[in-house]
Chain A
Amino acid sequence: MNWINNYVRPTINSLFSRRETPDNLWTKCPECGTMLFHRELKENQQVCGECGHHMLITPRERFEHLFDGGIFTEIEVPDVPLDPLTFKDQKKYPERIKAAQKKTGEKDAILVVEGEIGRTPIIAAAQDFSFMGGSMGMYVGNAIIAAAERAVATKRPFILFSAAGGARMQEGILSLMQMPRTTVAVQMLREAGLPYIVVLTHPTTGGVTASYAMLGDVQIAEPNALIGFAGARVIEQTIGEKLPEGFQRSEYLLDHGMLDRVTHRKDMRDELVTIVRMLMGMSPPVMGDLPAPKEAAETPDQPAEEK
C-alpha cells in the first residue's frame, strides 16, 4: 500500500491544488478558506466576501477606493541617505531595499498623497506592509513629516493608515529616532488645529504604535487587526503563560479603552468624511461615490479659515 501513500496521493493532491489556484485569478481567504475571484476581491477592497476577513491592501489600491473618482496626487518625500550605517546582516541592506522596491514597485514603505474624499480636501498617508514589513526608517519618518507640513500649509486634515512591524533595524538608532521625529510632526498638526486621524490596520506594532500611530485625535482600527507594542511570543516567554483569544486585536483594544472605533473597510471612507467634516466645521457631506473633482475653477467648500 506504500505506493498509494507515496505516489498516488501526492499526485492527486497536486492535481487538486493546482486546479485551485490558476494564475492569480483566485485567492484563497487565509481565514475561512473560501476561494475568492480576483476581480470581486478587488471590488471588495481585499475583504473576503464570505467571512469579512480584511486582507493586506497596498496603499495605492486603498487610495483608489478612498478618493473621489480614485484621483489623488503624490506628495514628494525628501530623499534620505541610503544605508547610513552600511548595515549588513545575512544580506546587505541596499539589496533588501532593492528587492522590496522591485516587489512592490514603490520607493519605500509609505505613500503620501493629497486629494478629496466626499469633496473634502485631505492629506493621507498609508504604510505598505509588503515593503520590508512596513518598517519605519528615515524615509517613513520624512514622509510623515512631509505629510504634516503639507497639511499645515494647505490647512487640510491628515489621515494616516498605519501598517508596520515596527522600526527598521537596518537603520539602527536612526530608525528609533523616527519616534520623536514623527511625534514632532503630530505636534505641528496639533498646533495648527488640524485633525489627525489614525486608522490602524493589520498589523501595527513596535515603535510605530509607540509613537505617531497612537497619537491620533481619533483612533480607528480595521476589524481583527493586530495592534500592540511587544510581540505575542515575547510576552508569552516573559510571563510564562498563554495569552487570551483575541489578545492585541482591534476588538480587544476597543474593549480595553485604547481605541475610539473599529470600522469595516467598506464603511471607512464615509466614516472618515463624516468625522473630518465635523471636526473641520464643514457642512454635512454628500455621501456616495463621487466623480473626481473638477479643476480648481469649481473649488468645493474649503475648510473654515477661522474657527
Chain B
Amino acid sequence: MANYLEFEKPLAEIESKAEELRAMGRANEEMDIEEEAKALDKKAADLLKDLYKDLTPWRKCQVARHPDRPHCKDYIEALFTEYTPLAGDRNFADDHAVMGGLARLGDTPVMVIGLEKGFDTKTRIERNFGMARPEGYRKAIRLMELADKFGLPIITLVDTPGAYPGKGAEERGQSEAIARSTEKCLQVKVPLISVIIGEGGSGGAVALATANRLLMLEHSVYSVISPEGCASILWKDAEKMREAAEALRLTAQDLNQLGVVDVIVKEPVGGAQRDRTAAIEGVGKALKATLKELAKKKPNALVKDRRQKFLSIGSKGLAA
C-alpha cells in the first residue's frame, strides 16, 4: 500500500520486510523464505487488527481523511447504475465539489448527491478539496426539489472538511445557502438518507446530512469544528488536536450514543482504504436496507419523523 498513516509506521516496517524477503526469494531460488514471510504476514495482520481495534478519536480523524479511502465518486460509480449527472445552480455556476444526479440503486430510481474531494492534485483542485461554495449548496437544493417533485428518494454522501471559506463564497451568501439547504432537507416529502463516508465537517456537512436516517462509516467523523480548529481556539495551540478530538466526541460510536447517528456501517479490518470494494459493498447493503424500511412511510410521515428526530436530539447525554 502506498500511503501509511503515522500510527501505522510499525505496520509499514513489517509489511515492507515481508516484501523484501519475497523479492529476495524470487531472486534466489535456493532460499526458502516462504515460511518466514508468512510469519511476517501473520504478524502484520495481527498488528493491523490490534491497531484498528480501538482507534483513538484523533486516529479516526486521520483514517477518515486517508487519501486512499473511497470517495463519493467511487461509491456512486460502484453502487449505482444509470448515473446521470445533473449540473448547475441556474444562478451562478456549477460547483464541482458537489456531485449529483439521477441514478438507480438496484431497480429504484433515486437522486444521489455528494461531496467529492478528488483523488490527485488535479482533481483535488477541480473539486476544491470537497469544500463547497454557495452554488454547490444551491445545486443540491435544486436536485432535492427535483427529487421531491417526482417522488424519488434522496441519498447524500458526505465527505468534506467544511464549506469553503472564500471571499466570493461569502459575497454570494455561503451561510444563506447552507441554511436553505438544511431547510430543504427538512421539507422534502421523500425518504432522505445520508451517509458520512469520511469527514463530516460542520455546517458544510449539516446542509446535506439533515436526513431521515444518518449512516456513518465506522471510522468516519462528524464534528462542529475540526480538532485543529478547536485546539487553536480553546487550547490556543493547534498541536493539541488529540485532546480536542477526544473532547469533541466526534466518532461514529459516540454520535450513535447521542442519538445523532442511526446506523454504523462496519469497515474492513484496517479501514475502508485497505479494502475499498468491501467498504463500498457494506455501504450499499446498508443503504438498500434503509431505503426499504423508509419506502413504507407516507410522505407526510417522512417530514414529521425527520423533524421529530432533530427536535428530540439532545435529550440523551453521554456517560462520563
Contact = CB atoms under 8 A, between A and B. Distances in A.
A167 interface: yes
B317 A89 contact: no
B186 A187 contact: yes
A89 B235 contact: yes
Contacts of B176: 214, 258
Interface string A152-187: 000000000000000101011111110111011011
Nearest to A185: B311
Interface stretch (A16-24, A30-38, A78-86, A287-295): A78-86
A235 interface: yes
Q: Is the interface of B mostly helix, strand, loop or mixed?
A: helix
Contacts of B170: 228-230, 235, 247-248
Given A85-B249, A89-B247, A207-B224, A238 B173 contact: no
A215 interface: yes
Interface residues of B, number: 52
A211 B186 CA distance: 12
Contact of A181 (B207, B233, B313, B317): B313
Interface in A216-260: 228-231, 234-235, 238-239, 241, 243, 247-248, 256-258
B41 interface: no
The winner among A209, A210, A212, A213 for most chain B CB atoms within 10 A is A210
Interface in B233-280: 233-235, 243-244, 247-250, 255, 258, 260
Contacts of A213: 175, 179
Contact of A215 (B171, B183, B210, B258): B183
Contacts of A206: 203
A172 B175 CA distance: 20
A59 interface: no
A44 to B, nearest CB: 30
A99 to B, nearest CB: 14
Contacts of B203: 176, 179, 206-207, 210-211, 229
A177 B314 CA distance: 8
Nearest to A90: B235
A124 interface: no
Contacts of A207: 202-203, 206, 224
B167 interface: yes
B259 to A, nearest CB: 9
A141 interface: yes
Contacts of B175: 209-210, 213-214, 228-229
Contacts of A210: 163, 174-175, 178-179, 182, 203, 206-207
The winner among A145, A172, A187, A258 for most chain B CB atoms within 10 A is A172
B303 to A, nearest CB: 9
A56 B311 CA distance: 31
B307 interface: yes
A138 interface: yes
Contacts of A184: 186, 307, 310-311
A86 B257 CA distance: 14
Contacts of A177: 260, 310, 313-314
Contacts of A209: 175, 179
Contacts of A138: 314
A239 B167 contact: yes
Contact of A229 (B165, B206, B230, B247): B165
A187 B165 contact: no
Given A179-B182, A184-B186, A169 B248 contact: yes
Given A176-B224, A184-B310, A84 B318 contact: yes
A241 B166 CA distance: 10
A292 to B, nearest CB: 35
B185 A174 contact: no
A88 interface: yes
B36 to A, nearest CB: 48
Contacts of B258: 84, 173-174
A210 B169 CA distance: 13
Interface string B24-62: 000000000000000000000000000000000000000
Nearest to B209: A180
A132 to B, nearest CB: 12
14 contacts: A85-B247, A89-B234, A169-B248, A173-B222, A173-B223, A187-B186, A210-B203, A210-B207, A213-B179, A215-B179, A230-B170, A235-B167, A239-B166, A241-B167
Given A169-B234, A230-B165, 10 more contacts: A81-B317, A172-B223, A172-B247, A177-B310, A181-B313, A212-B179, A230-B174, A234-B165, A239-B166, A256-B172
